[in-house]
Structure 1
Amino acid sequence: MSELFGPKLEPANGNPANKLVILLHGYGSDGKDLIGLGDFWAQGFPDVEFLAPNAPEPCSVNPFGFEWFHLDLERGDTNYEAGAEQAYPLIRDYVLQRTADAGLKLSDVVLGGFSQGAMMALYAGLRFEEPLAGILAFSGKLVDADGIGDELESTPPVCLIHGEDDDVVPVQGSLEAQEALEQFYVNVSLKVSQKTGHSIAMDGLEFATGFLTHVLKPGQSVEDA
């Protein structure tokens, strides 16, 4: 099985990482796109290493980008759950390996993503036997919402952020994910950014910062971060 590679940011304080934030990019993009979130958060979380691996396959509609699984854009009948199931082992192995390399536990790791990467963060993050510190999903959805109760191995806190006017992955994806997960007592926080499409608005980014503060710096307020 091949290994994932992509950009990373070492902790801003120059010390070995105490926490990891792993970010999965969207369809047709690459790790360079999401490592910018690490630049935004680096000073506020100086003991965190940020990683943004590239998906394993070149994107079928953008040869300069990558995909976690194929989307049938012409027919619009993609089997998202089957695609996520196929991509899952590589992501799981990557998270476990990077965590072990850093000498950390899964409870020190936040797994996040945007769009297709958010779908994979939710799919993979809920299947670790030891709970992650948290799952952060921008503009995504729970591809296995109907059967998630049979697949949950752990219940880390989940943060969902979505643009109200998203016409690529409609906001209903996050609303339905919240409803499905809360049935199984997952702690879910949701931010819907008004007048925002398929992107991350500043209020969504600030909401995510608050979530990271809560799960990576327990007991510390957002203002103190």
Structure 2
Amino acid sequence: MPLAASWRASLPNTQFAAPDAPLPHRYGHQWFIAEGNPLDPTRIRTAREAFDGLMNDVVRAEGFADAHARIAFVGLSQGSIVALDAVASGRWRIGALVSFAGLLPPQQVSSASRDTPVLLVHGQRDTTIPATASTLAAAQLGAAGFKVELEIEPGVGHTISSSGAERALTFLKQTLAGGAFPAVEHTYRGSDQDVDIGFWNIEWLANRYDQPAKLDGAVSQNTTTKLRGYRATMT
């Protein structure tokens, strides 16, 4: 179920958008090349530069340069990876972050953004990025002082389930209720590698995934991530 369709009625004053990730892929776009070692430090640095540049452009264009607390990032797969990295590194202090089926790249987590509430949602049957990646991310962020909520969904693979989307909606409504202009970002890992950023009263979300089977197929073919090195780093 596309987030735009499922969230619009509950966030009536929110507008959604979907700027593309910078790198081309046969299915659309991507933040970094998934083949080989996707957690290579060079790839992470390149993705950071691309993410920060794109986010800063959007934030400035929409008038939120001095209001990052009104912004939330919501990511899926690669979108979750770059969003989690942006917050965990201390580069972005925002109002909330939701990660679907993501992981936290190996790094020393900064406490600079610990006031950003984080929700991690992961399918227990995810064979692309195992759910243990979100469990490890929750432990890392929690140790750095972040308020983290973790939801492992039985029977769900590498996707956003309807229950996961509802869980995220509840989280965002709770965490952003105190601000006049909270914002939401989401990145799909599907036929188009998008980063969707939403703003309260400046809403933006691409309604691109009206065929769940197509999205699931693209996910299974497009996001093989080897976590051997990541696990070694974490243990």
Q: Report the TM-score, using the length of structure 2 for normalisation.
A: 0.68
> After superposition, where does 1:12-161 map in structure 2 within 5 Å?
36-59=2-25, 63-72=26-35, 76-104=36-64, 105-127=67-89, 131-144=93-106, 147-149=107-109, 151-155=110-114, 156-161=116-121
Give the superposed CA RMSD: 2.1
Measured in 2, the distance between the counterparts of 1:95 and 1:52 equals 11
> Counterpart of 1:196?
156
Q: CA deviation at 1:182?
A: 0.4
Q: What are the Cα deviations for residues 118-171 of structure 1, in whole angstroms up to 9, with x where unaligned?
A: 101101233455620111110000012xx323x453121111000001000000
- 1:81/1:152 Cα in 2 relative to 1: closer, same or farther (>3 Å)? farther
Which of 129, 150, 159 is matched with 1:169 structurally?
129
Measured in 2, the distance between the counterparts of 1:78 and 1:101 equals 31
Measured in 2, the distance between the counterparts of 1:49 and 1:127 equals 28
- 1:130/1:192 Cα in 2 relative to 1: closer, same or farther (>3 Å)? closer
What are structure 2's unaligned runs of at least 5 residues?
180-235
Identity, in percent, stands at: 27
Counterpart contact for 1:163–1:199, Cα < 8 Å: yes
Q: Output the amino acid matched with 1:47.
A: N
Deviates more, 1:190-199 or 1:170-179: 190-199
Q: What are the Cα deviations for residues 17-73 of structure 1, in whole angstroms up to 9, with x where unaligned?
A: xxxxxxxxxxxxxxxxx9x312321221122222222111112xxx2311100122x
Measured in 1, the distance between the counterparts of 2:92 and 2:21 equals 24
Q: Say which SS state the counterpart of residue 63 (structure 2) adopts.
A: coil
Q: Output the amino acid matched with 2:147.
A: N
Q: What are the Cα deviations for residues 72-130 of structure 1, in whole angstroms up to 9, with x where unaligned?
A: 2xxx5433443222111222122222222222311111111101111011012334556
What are structure 1's unaligned runs of at least 5 residues?
1-33, 220-225
Runs of 4 or more consecutive aligned structure 1 residues displaced over 6 Å after TM superposition:
none
Measured in 2, the distance between the counterparts of 1:64 and 1:130 equals 29
